[in-house]
Structure 1
Amino acid sequence: MEQVSYRVLSILFTLCYVLDGSHFRGGIISWRPLNNSVTGTTTQILLHQRYFWWRMYSGFSGYLCTEHDVVVGTLINIIPAATLMCLRNCTSSTYPSSGVTVNMITSDCDSNPLIESWGGELYTTLTLPITTSITIGYTSSAWLTALYIGGGQGWSIVNRMNLALRPDGYINSSPVTTTLPCILYQRNVSIVHVVQMADNDATDTLLCRWSNSNSSYNYNQNDECVGVCKAMPAGTTLTASNCTLQFILPNASIYYACALQIEDYYDTTSPHPMSSVPIQFLFYAYNKGAGACTTAPSIIGVRPNRACIGVPVGVQLNETVEIQTYCPGQTIIDLVTSSPYGMQHSAISNPSTGK
């Protein structure tokens, strides 16, 4: 009999309290105008940041996050106090000279020994002149040490915010993307992995590229990745038009950092992008255990895999993730998540005997 597992997700927004955190495992920075029509010389921008941290980091002083931190919205207060700074062309904008905090509100906590991630996100509203064309970034140290390339080195994650009017007369919105903090794949097997990308400006052309350190060449005019530029194994390919990676992870029990930029062009003839969104995350390679099921579990049920769910503001949403396994005795023991803050994660139930 095929086994089915369920997980219930509930959204509930609450208050927060303060903790400390560090040790980088990736992140995303994006933005959009609250009103894309020009109504004056300034506009309000909603800036979104998401970062993942090593849950076991000593800077947390022995505190280990749990689902309780998701429920109450614990603030992940980074040590030392860290900010998203303007890095290039700063005189074009009134972006705060002291930067914008990167202290996230807890959205996810995973105690799986292979993941050990504490993740969060933050939305900040800024009023900026439409002359703004700046590179903003969060740079510090250090990545986790157990990386295939770049272990223990510094990080740089940067975004280009350009509020110059588009050819259609509107203010641009950057692309959006999402990822899990760490994706597990079997060692020495050819993998095809799709990085999701979308844009509120539906007609834009989106292209995905490797982050790089060539500040005189890339659109951000800044080192975009420091220690993890092209940190995937040799032979890895990236298809720009759909942000699809194809690769083989050669070594087991180690992590692989992936650093990409997603950029939007007005159309296929545009010579330059209008914005640049970073996404940095991890892969982990494992050896297949003896007797392991040859067919991977799959997400079934009402919501298909990669479903996009629209939710009215201020309305509680309950969702069930239904997973099917294909071997006797196989159960689901953990789901890795990257959620909006306020989304609570229930325990996993296994109603089938798996026989």
Structure 2
Amino acid sequence: MKLIWYLVLVILYALYNTIEGAHFRGGIISWRPLNSTPSGSSASILIHQRYFWNREWSGFTPPYCTEADVASQTSIPVNSYMTCLSNCSSSTYPSSGLSTVMTTTDCDQNTIIESWAGERYDTLTLPLTTSITIGFQSSAWMTALYIGGGQSWSIVNRLNLGLRPDGYINSSPVTNTLPVVFYQINTQVVHVVQMADNDATDILQCRWSNSASGSNYNRVDECGGICSGLPSSTVVTASNCTLSFTLPTANLYYACALQIEDYYSSSSTSPMSSVPIQFLFYGYTASSGACSERPSIIGDRPNRACIGVPIGVQLNETIIIQTYCPGQTIVDLVTSSPYGMTHSAISNPSTNLWTMVLTWTPVAAQTGPQGFCAGAIDNSSLQSDPWCITYLVDYDSPDLIRPTLVQGSASPVGTVFSNQTLFSIEASSTVGRPTRNGTDICFHDADTNVSVVCYDAGYASNLVYTGNTIVIVANYSWTPGKTYYVTMDSGFASGSVFCHAESSPITDPTYWRFNIWDPAVSSTTTTTTTPFTTATVTTRPTSTTSINTLLTTTGIALTTTTAMTTNATTASTSDSTTAASTTASATTSSETSESTVAVMYPKDFENACQQTVAIMTPVFFITLMPVHAVVMYAAFIKISNMFNPAHIQAQARHKRRLRRIFAA
């Protein structure tokens, strides 16, 4: 019997080491309070773990994960623990640690990537004295590494619940990445690591993880065997977490280990938390038949977008990939997803376009930021740049209200003059300028669908965000008689929470349209009449009148009348056997004209008066101040005299004196 138990233990140990042994590919650890406002001496903290593993497990059936494991949310049985590593007496963090058994989120079949990814959430109630380093340490990394192959891993996070200077509980930064990012060797690379923070005013910095446990913020070894895992010439720019490097050797993996830390202000010297991110680069040599241009992910959602999504409502997001050469096909789309998000097969709906559909219904436990990243791989192993977006669960993105003609949310609509410069549109909530460039508003010629002028909301000074309204000052000469329409990129309006959930793109040509009044247009009416009896029919002089279609909003109709020359036609008809004869003579109508009425919109009136009101208000108050002072002084003197005891006594003595005088 003992022999059987020993055999079982040996098998379990072997299976455990199948995943533990040389299969680690990196990960992320972050946390946030469920309520940032302190109440009492403790707080509920949501702790997030995400790890990447090798997809192939010998000894298991099947030997690797598939999309079916993603859909069924299969567990990844990494039976280990994330434990407290430093200053543990300051907290009630479990002495045994938190389990590292993950829920499957992504399975990638590419032979270079072979990734099995998962994540896990745990909620703990911890005292506000907590200032600990937690982490997952074990062995071993994959073997084919530039530096650190087969060595131990250490991925650690600083969890500090000491109140911020503003009196709130801190939230750590958040980040996401693909497990493996491809770059061609001997080519200068600039790679940006995504980072964001729920505390919107925090200053974020990233740095290399290091093993100097006596001096780094976490006070432990932060990176195990992969410290300095990239070439020594690699440069990291802390403020935007940008890496600049060149991979020297093909068919090798390069481990990257970083810590993202948040500071209360630019003058702060110590971070409030430290989030690890570890992942891989892969160096390759492009084959002779490879396309000269890598595929790219395009579509409505740009890279680094932030999108608000409700709980319990199914989200369908389409990823669109562009290829550029004949024979270039997309064979894989590597992803890093929140749990519960499923991925369709890759389809090819048209030449050089490839798509994958994401389907996801967020649950309440996923409230807050959820990152997603994707990278497209073609048949020559060329990979697109990573495309990462943040879904903000249980937060609403601002909605740009569809314009209407009467009392609408956008101005102007209908017919306007060619010198129109002010445009505005309202949103369903308070909006602000987007945090990234490349979010354009464009005006298009409706006849050609060609954009005539665009402004980037990321920096354009002629775009003003105020409350729920966005005002655009367009410097363009519109062509009389033309019709134009407006489009807006995803994120043209952004919300005010976390990563600023952004508005959906507006691409519909019928969404916001206006046309330019053309004063040169006229019309001529011709009447042809064939009466049953002999008669003379004359068309009367008719004026050409153009009406301003903004009558419904301005209350003013603009009219012009031009001179017209018409032909008086006489038709002479006898019985059915007599031929008809026609004569024509010219008649000229009198010429009348009306002066053009200049229309001033309410907003124009407001803008015109703004400076005058701003000047006259202080002038009025300055003029009124001395008058007010004199009046107040006289009032106080009057009141003082009325209630002054000496004055009252003097009046009483005066009255007694008068009574004695009259009595005498």
Which TM-score band applies after superposition, normalised by the shorter structure? over 0.9
Mapped pair 1:72 → 2:72: yes
Number of positions where the alignment pairs a residue of Structure 1 with one of Structure 2 = 335
Q: Deviations over 1:198-249 (max 9, x none)?
A: 0000000100000000000000000000100011012100000000000001
Letter in 2 for 1:73: Q
Residue of structure 2 equivalent to 1:319? 317
Q: Which has the larger radius of gyration?
A: 2
Distance in 2, matches of 1:203 and 1:173, equals 12
Counterpart of 1:337 in 2: which secondary structure?
Answer: strand
Distance in 2, matches of 1:305 and 1:211, equals 26
The correspondence of residues 78-157 of structure 1 with structure 2, limited to 5 A, is 78=78, 81-157=79-155
Closer, same or farther in 2 for the Cα pair 1:60/1:49, shift >3 Å? farther
Letter in 1 for 2:58: S
Closer, same or farther in 2 for the Cα pair 1:141/1:43, shift >3 Å? same
Distance in 1, matches of 2:301 and 2:199, equals 25
Q: How far is the alpha carbon of 1:327 from its aligned partner? A: 1.0
Residue of structure 2 equivalent to 1:194? 192
Residue of structure 1 equivalent to 2:29? 29
Q: How far is the alpha carbon of 1:354 from its aligned partner? A: 4.5
Letter in 2 for 1:36: S
Residue of structure 2 equivalent to 1:41? 41
Distance in 2, matches of 1:162 and 1:354, equals 49
Q: Deviations over 1:284-315 (max 9, x none)?
A: 01100112111222221111123222211111
Distance in 2, matches of 1:189 and 1:28, equals 28
Mapped pair 1:234 → 2:236: no
Counterpart of 1:25 in 2: which secondary structure?
Answer: strand
Residue of structure 1 equivalent to 2:600? none
Distance in 2, matches of 1:48 and 1:60, equals 27
Q: Is the 8 A contact 2:295 2:324 kept in 1?
A: yes
The correspondence of residues 190-229 of structure 1 with structure 2, limited to 5 A, is 190-229=188-227
Q: Flag the structure with higher helix content.
A: 2
Distance in 2, matches of 1:60 and 1:184, equals 29
Counterpart of 1:29 in 2: which secondary structure?
Answer: strand
Q: Identity over the aligned pairs, expressed in percent?
A: 70
Of 246, 249, 257 in structure 1, the residue corresponding to residue 247 of structure 2 is 249
Q: Is the 8 A contact 2:56 2:65 kept in 1?
A: no
Q: Is the 8 A contact 2:151 2:225 kept in 1?
A: yes
Residue of structure 2 equivalent to 1:334? 332
Distance in 2, matches of 1:228 and 1:193, equals 19
Q: Deviations over 1:112-146 (max 9, x none)?
A: 00000000001110100000000001000000000
Distance in 2, matches of 1:139 and 1:320, equals 37
Letter in 1 for 2:316: N
Of 259, 282, 293 in structure 1, the residue corresponding to residue 291 of structure 2 is 293
Residue of structure 1 equivalent to 2:259? 261
Q: How far is the alpha carbon of 1:61 from its aligned partner? A: 6.6
Q: Is the 8 A contact 1:194 1:243 kept in 2?
A: yes
Distance in 1, matches of 2:60 and 2:308, equals 35
The correspondence of residues 1-16 of structure 1 with structure 2, limited to 5 A, is none
Q: Is the 8 A contact 1:146 1:254 kept in 2?
A: yes
Closer, same or farther in 2 for the Cα pair 1:220/1:190, shift >3 Å? same
Distance in 1, matches of 2:275 and 2:259, equals 5
Q: Deviations over 1:266-301 (max 9, x none)?
A: 001111000000000000011001121112222211
Distance in 2, matches of 1:247 and 1:166, equals 36
Counterpart of 1:203 in 2: which secondary structure?
Answer: coil
Q: Deviations over 1:59-117 (max 9, x none)?
A: 75762100000000000011xx2000000000100000000001110000001000000
Q: Is the 8 A contact 1:56 1:62 kept in 2?
A: no
Letter in 2 for 1:180: L
Counterpart of 1:309 in 2: which secondary structure?
Answer: strand
Mapped pair 1:348 → 2:343: no
Q: Deviations over 1:173-194 (max 9, x none)?
A: 0000000000011111100000
Q: Deviations over 1:27-76 (max 9, x none)?
A: 00000000000111110000000000011243757621000000000000
Any runs of at least 4 consecutive aligned residues in structure 1 with deviations exceeding 4 A, and if so which? 59-62
RMSD: 1.4
Distance in 1, matches of 2:103 and 2:109, equals 18
Q: How far is the alpha carbon of 1:331 from its aligned partner? A: 1.3
Question: Structure 1 regions of 5+ residues with no counterpart?
Answer: 1-18
Distance in 2, matches of 1:354 and 1:180, equals 24
Q: Is the 8 A contact 1:329 1:354 kept in 2?
A: no
TM-score, structure 1 as length reference = 0.92
Larger RCO: 1 or 2 (CA < 8 Å, sep 6+): 1
TM-score, structure 2 as length reference = 0.50
Question: Structure 2 regions of 5+ residues with no counterpart?
Answer: 1-14, 354-664
Letter in 1 for 2:158: R
Q: Which moved more, 1:207-216 or 1:289-298?
A: 289-298
Residue of structure 2 equivalent to 1:53? 53
Distance in 2, matches of 1:253 and 1:164, equals 46
Distance in 1, matches of 2:61 and 2:54, equals 13
Closer, same or farther in 2 for the Cα pair 1:241/1:354, shift >3 Å? closer
Letter in 2 for 1:38: P
Q: Is the 8 A contact 1:36 1:171 kept in 2?
A: yes
Q: Is the 8 A contact 2:187 2:246 kept in 1?
A: yes
Q: Flag the structure with higher strand content.
A: 1
